[in-house]
Amino acid sequence: METVPAALTAHPATPSPALTAKDFTTDQEVRWCPGCGDYSILAQVQKVFPTLGIPKENFVIISGIGCSSRFPYYMNTFGMHSIHGRATAIASGLKMTRPELSVWIVTGDGDSLSIGGNHTIHLLRRNVDVNVLLFNNQIYGLTKGQYSPTSELNKVTKSTPFGSLDHPFNPAAVALGADATFVARSMDRDPKHLQQMLLRSHGHKGASFLEIYQNCNIFNDAAFEIFTEKGTKAAYTLMLEQGQPLLYGAEKNLGIRLDGYKPEMVDLSEGKYSVDDLWVHDEQDFYKAQILTRFFDDASQPVHFPRPFGVFYATERPAYDELMALQLEETLAAKGPGDLDKLLQGKETWSID
C-alpha cells in the first residue's frame, strides 16, 4: 500500500488568497480625460474579474488603437496594446494556441467598425471564444473629434464641418448580421447593469459582443444623456430581462407589443392593453432580436422607440478554437505527425525540360 510522503502531509497546500479589485489595478497613471466614461468601465471590469474564479495570470486583454485601447496599461493582467483594428486577429490567434486563457478584446467604435470592421465580423462569424467590449462614444476621441462609423447623420465635427452624410452603423445589428452568438448592450453610467453584462459575456461559450455606451465629455458630451439621466432614463430605456414582458417608464405603465412582427408602443394605463398582451423577451429568438436592435433613432421615422439594454441574443454554437483543436487531434490520430516540407511542396509539381 502506498503512503503519502511526509513532506506533503506536513505542509498541506494553502488555498490561493481571494482576489480583489486592487489585484487588477496597476501603478500606471490613468490618462483619460477627467470625467471620461472609460473610468467607470475600468472600475466595473476590475470589480468583476476577481469574481470569475480564474487565476489572475490567465487573464489577457488585447486592445487596438484609440482612447479605450489604453485599457491594458491599467489592468494588472497580461495584455497587449496592439494594432489599429487588428486586436481581434491577435486575440483569435492567442485563444487558439492558448485555449485555457480568458481573452478580452477592448476596442472602440472607430477601431472595430472602421479600419477593423472586416476583422470584427469574421471573428464573430467564426465564434472564437473571446469577449469583445466595444466602447461606443460615437466619435473619434484619441484623434480629437472626427466623426466615427457610429456618429449620427448630420453630425458636425472637425472632419465634417457641414454635417456628416454617412449613415451610421448600428453595432448590435452589425453583430447579429455577422451571426454572433451573444449580443448585448450596456452603458458606462449604470455600474450594476454593466457588471451583470460583463458576467454574462464571460459565461458565454463562444464570441461575446458587448456594446457599451461610453460618454466622451470632451468631443461628444451628453451623446447618451437621455438614457443615463434620472429624469429621462425610465422613459427612454428598455431594460431587457429574459422571460419578462417589455415594460418601461417610471411607473412601468409603458410597454411594447407585437402586431405580427411589427412592434408597437402602448400605454397600459389607457386600459386597452394589459401586461399579458406585451412582447415577452426571449434571448434565443434570433428574429425578434433583430427587431430589438432596430429600436434605434432614425430621423426618417415619426416614432422613436425606447433604446434596449441587456442581452439581445444568446445561442450555442461550437467555438472555432475548440473545433480547430478537435480537427488537429483527429488528424494526428489518423495520419500521425505531418511533414512540413511535403505540405509546402503540395501535390502539383512541374518538371521543365
Q: What is the mean pLDDT of residues 245-254?
A: 97
The rounded mean pLDDT for the chain is: 92
Closest CA to 159 of 169, 141, 147: 147
Compute the C-alpha angle 208/80/113, nearest 5°.
50
Domain positions in the chain: 17-223
Q: pLDDT tens-digit profile of 315-335?
A: 999 999 999 999 999 999 998
pLDDT value at residue 16: 57
Q: How many contiguous H segments (helices) and E segments (strands) does the chain have?
A: 13, 11
In this prediction, residues 121-134 reach a mean pLDDT of: 98
259 within 8 A of 275, measured Cβ to Cβ: no
pLDDT at 77 over 50: yes
Residue predicted with more confidence, 353 or 70: 70
Spatial separation of the C-alpha atoms in residues 141 and 188, rounded to whole Å: 16
Model confidence at 281: pLDDT above 50: yes
Q: What is the spatial distance between Cα 254 and Cα 273, in angstroms, rounded to a whole number? A: 10
Indicate the pLDDT class of residue 288, thresholds 50, 70 and 90. Answer: very high
**Residue 183 pairs with which residues in a beta bridge?**
209, 313
111-122 pLDDT, tens digit per residue, is 999 999 999 999
* Predicted confidence (pLDDT) per residue in 15-55, tens digit: 557 999 999 999 999 999 999 999 999 999 999 999 999 99
- Distance of alpha carbon 133 from alpha carbon 117, whole angstroms: 14
**pLDDT over 90 percentage in the chain:** 87
pLDDT tens digits for 201-229? Answer: 999 999 999 999 999 999 999 999 999 99
Determine the Cα–Cα distance for residues 290 and 287; give it in Å rounded to an integer: 5
Asked if residue 13 has pLDDT above 60, the reply is no
Is the domain spanning 17-223 CATH 2.60.40.1930? The answer is no
Q: Is the pLDDT of residue 4 over 50?
A: no
| More confident: 304 or 79 | 79
* Sign of the CA dihedral running 301, 289, 235, 270: positive
The predicted structure's pLDDT at residue 17: 72
CA 303 to chain CA centroid, nearest Å: 28
